[in-house]
Structure 1
Amino acid sequence: MADSAGKGRARGANLEYAIGLARALAGALIFAFPLVMTMEMWWIGFYIAPLRLFLFLLLGLGMLAGLAYYSGFEPSDGVLDAVLDGLVAFGVGFLCSLAVLWMLGLLDGEMGWRGAVGMVAIQAVPAGIGAVAARQQFGDASGEGKQDRAGYPAQLFLMAAGALFLAFNVAPTEEMILITFKMSPRQVLGLAAISILLLHLLVYTVGFAGQERFPEGAGFWSTFFTYTLVGYAIALLLSAYVLWTFGRTDGTAPELVVMMSVVLGFPAALGAAIARLVV
């Protein structure tokens, strides 16, 4: 009787994990498809420096493990379990990107293994984020999750994940550079102010499902400085990092790098603001 009950629980756990993997695949497909269909992303895989690609994948794996702990495609039981789920999510993102790129005729024998691996690997991180976010978007996210009990560092981590995810969707495009050249310094400063304002409003004011509550005992200015401004600073730093990873800052004057970071920081700030809705 006990053996039968144990086998039943094992089958139930395996079925639940299989459903989680199916959700992960769906999330990877839906979240990564805009990037898979972007020409600039194809070429980045060819010219990105190996060290930059390695650092990006390392950062991506760390972020996937953290996201798996807080809102993975299946409930995680601890840090080690979250790390394994993060690796699985990256694997799902890699295989999903490989399959879609091949299906669209973008991978062939003439490009060489290095170009093919680079093209797929650079797509695997956003696809992996989609895989991790699948439970939040498509699964049963009812009840209190770990992110509802997350402390201050964890909240900043979730904002960073949302910022990276949304910024990644536009960072590879040539339009980011064009917009920067068309904007005046005054307009860039105005965009920074609007980004900060929207970040604060979307997180604490407008009433989206899952939005943050003001920390207990904290006033407006305390929350503004410790969450909103710090969140925007994280969005700017990640924007600059992504631009560097993609080679957008090479040979570029420092003031233009700052302006590009502010321009990319606009979608990054929005991603940070809606992080709890997405991841």
Structure 2
Amino acid sequence: MDRLSALKSIAAQASRGDLSFPTNVDATLKLQRALNEPDCHTDMAARLVQAEPLLAARTVAIANSVAYNRAGHDVTNVRAAVARVGFRTLGALAAAVIVRQLASEITDPGLRAKADQLWIHSAHVAALAQVIARRVSFVDPETAMFAGVVHEVGGFYLLSRAEEFPGLLDGGPEDWLEHGEVAIGRGVLLKLGVPVPVMGAIEALWNGMRALPPETLGDTLLLAKDLAPFPSPLHQRPGATTPESAATIDFTIGEGTLAQVLAESAEEVKSLAAALL
């Protein structure tokens, strides 16, 4: 099967919901669904999180990040971390684990490197989206961080299938954009149970349209992606800035500017990205 046919085949499978996930993803999806049950309380959530070591480590790390630990009092156990970050942030962290697990079975060194680069990009987009939402666009910061975590999930899924189809990623980014991104991305997002508002924000990203200053969740995600210091290794969205030119993006916010907000929030962004990595 040639490259374009393979892309179209994977996209068609994703559109039908016929997705091939590693077994550990299914386990974490069950955990995520349990955390979303209305009768799940803090003690139960802590027990569920402790059963997934990677999620437990991420939860404690983000609870101790600058964004969630303004008083400087570190927590040292999962229950205290869950109580501090709340269930909505916990949902974003569970999604982060799932996204990483999609690439867990990649053995090819080149594909593995792309997956690692894609996660570094995603972590920085998530951290920037959280800060931009809280300080600039005033949309929900936890939803913005979640959107940043999952916005490249279609790319991770494509990388997870690439070993089956030698040469799948040899073409230019226009192939991925034209023949795979929307269908594969939407299919995986639906499988993960991503809420409609987040789906809409990610679809806005695919369309490449945003307003400055940002007003919506989609605008927030697009600006965070443009400002991320590490670009996606798969493609740049149409009209996206380069990391070098992103430094020129600035506008007035109240009595300050975007540049001032980013400078003031640099430590927050750094600690959030590090906790997700």
> Would you call these one fold, judging by a TM-score over 0.5?
no
Under a length normalisation based on structure 2, what TM-score does the superposition of the two structures give?
A: 0.29
Greater helix percent: which structure? 1
Under a length normalisation based on structure 1, what TM-score does the superposition of the two structures give?
A: 0.29
Q: Considering only CA atoms, is the larger Rg found in Structure 1 or Structure 2?
A: 1
